[in-house]
Every structure is written in structure tokens, then in C-alpha cells.
Amino acid sequence: MANLVLILISLLAIGRTLVHAGEPSPLQDFCVADFDSPVRVNGHACLDPKKVTADHFFFEGLHKPGNTSNPLGSFVNRPTVDEIPGLNTLGISTVRVDYAPRGVVPPHRHPRASEILIVLEGEVLVGFVTSDPENKLFSKVLKKGDVFAFPFGLIHFQQNVGHGNAVTIAFLSSQNPGVIPIANTVFGSNPSINDDLLAKAFRVDKSIIRNLKSPY
Ligand SMILES: *[C@@H]1O[C@H](CO)[C@@H](O)[C@H](O)[C@H]1NC(C)=O
């Protein structure tokens, strides 16, 4: 019996740890970010609730198509807590992506969020890869109305594989999910990661590394 109780306590403790892998449960109705507060906390200090208005929870314009005339052929409009201060401590945010035909959101990861994506227009190839050693690809072509989830922190990507433009909306489990585009971080860091190390790591010639590092 005592053993069973111990096991139950351990399981509860693990459960709590998992819950706290996301953002903590609220202790009040809201904690709108006070960007002027000198207090340093994980996130932002709370604005005086008497000063909070509907506009703190509001963002407009996500119906507007983004400009996809760029080398990736995509545009990401990602309002986080910086644009919607009411998101502070809520563990949630949203993003709209527009894609020209063949446009991509290159392989990237969010260090602080899982993501659920909905296709509003077009046909979008999506996928994520599991961690070492399996590195298994889970991928699918989505059409309008389809939904796909990207698990916490895993590398994922999107490409418009339809004939017209595509639009997706996604929701992320953080007020500030962050984004780590793999190519930008590995080949575009400042200062740069040494060519010899990268050539060895990717098992290619240094000239290829220098090529990957040069801006398009
Ligand atoms: C879209 O971006 C391109 C490249 O920066 C620019 O030339 C073009 O004028 C922009 N289009 C609109 C509608 O803003």
C-alpha cells in the first residue's frame, strides 16, 4: 500500500512537471504585459488591471494578405505578446502565413511552443521530423480546412504545392513561441560558425559551406 502511494505521488509529480513544461496556470483573470515596468520576470509584469482595456487583447488586419514577393515566396504575420499585451501569461498566440505558388516556410522550430495549423486556402505540404536517433519524417499534403499539429520544439516546414496562393492560420502554445530557422541559425549566425566545423558536421566541402553562408 505504502509503495502504491509512493508510485501515485511520483506519477503526480511527473504530471506536474509536464504541466509546467508550458506556461504556468493563471492566478488571476489576466496579467496584461506592462512594458514600462522595471520588474524583470519570466514574461512581463502585470499592468494595473484598472488600466486594462479591450485594446490590450486586440489585433487587427490578419485578413490582409502578406507580400510574398521575396526569395522564400512566403510572408509570416505573427502577432505575439509584443503586439497583443493581453497574451502575457496565457500561453497562446497566433500566426498567419501567405504563400505564393511553391512558396515555403523553411525548416524551423519553436523553442517554446507546440503549433496547430489550419489551411484556409490552397494546398500545403507540411511535415515535422522527430528527434535523434529516429529522425522520422511525418508529412502530409493538406487542403483547405485541413488541420495539422506540430509537436513541441520539433523541426517542421510548410510549402504551397497547389496552383494558386495559399493561406494558413496557426495557433501556438506560447505568448512568445520564438522561431529558430535552421539555415539562418547554423549558416547565418553572427559571428559565423567556423567553416571547418560545419564542413565536417555536414560532410561537405568548405566551398559548399561558404556558398550556404552567402546571402542570396
Ligand atoms: C512587395 O514586395 C516587393 C519586394 O520588396 C516590392 O517590390 C513590392 O512593391 C511589394 N508589393 C506591395 C503590394 O507592397
The residue-averaged pLDDT of 59-87 equals 97
Residue 175 is predicted with a pLDDT of: 95
Please name the residue whose Cα sits nearest to atom 4 of ligand 1. Answer: 69
Strand order in the sheet with 93-99: 74-77, 93-99, 166-172, 115-121, 147-150
Please name the residue whose Cα sits nearest to atom 14 of ligand 1. Answer: 67
Tell which phi-psi region holds residue 178, choosing left (phi > 0), alpha (psi between -120 and 50) or beta.
Answer: left
Strands 155-160 and 124-129: antiparallel
Take residue 11 and report the three cell numbers written for it: 506519477
DSSP assigned state of 19: H
Domain ranges of the chain: 24-176, 179-216
Task: Please give the distance, rounded to the nearest whole angstrom, from the Cα atom of residue 68 to the centre of ligand 1.
Answer: 8
How many Å is the Cα radius of gyration of the chain?
A: 21
Mean predicted lDDT score pLDDT of the chain: 91
The residue-averaged pLDDT of 151-166 equals 98
Residue 27 is predicted with a pLDDT of: 87
In this prediction, what percent of the chain has a pLDDT beyond 70? 88
Q: Residue 85's CB: how many other CB atoms inside 10 A?
A: 21
- Verify whether ligand 1 is closer than 6 Å to residue 42 (CB atom): no
* pLDDT of 124 above 90: yes
pLDDT grade for 12, boundaries at 50, 70 and 90? very low
The residue-averaged pLDDT of 62-74 equals 97
* pLDDT of 105 above 50: yes
What is the third-level CATH fold of 24-176? Jelly Rolls (2.60.120)
The residue-averaged pLDDT of 86-108 equals 97
Alpha helices, DSSP H, located in the chain: 2-19, 182-187, 195-202, 206-213
Strand order in the sheet with 137-142: 137-142, 124-129, 155-160, 104-109, 180-181
Of 112, 114, 117, 111, the closest CA to residue 96 belongs to: 117
* C-alpha separations of 82 from 59, 147, 203 in Å: 11, 26, 40
**Phi/psi of residue 126, each to 5°?**
-125, 160
Please name the residue whose Cα sits nearest to atom 3 of ligand 1. Answer: 69
* pLDDT of 201 above 90: yes
CA 31 vs. chain centroid, Å, equals 22
Pocket probe mutation, ligand 1, options 67, 70, 72, 165, max atoms within 8 Å of Cβ? 67
- Verify whether ligand 1 is closer than 6 Å to residue 71 (CB atom): no
CA dist 213 and 165 (Å) reads 29
Take residue 140 and report the three cell numbers written for it: 502530409
Residue 2 is predicted with a pLDDT of: 54
pLDDT grade for 16, boundaries at 50, 70 and 90? very low
In this prediction, what percent of the chain has a pLDDT beyond 90? 86
* pLDDT of 13 above 60: no
* pLDDT of 19 above 50: no
Residue 21 is predicted with a pLDDT of: 53
Please name the residue whose Cα sits nearest to atom 12 of ligand 1. Answer: 67
Greater model confidence, 19 or 50: 50
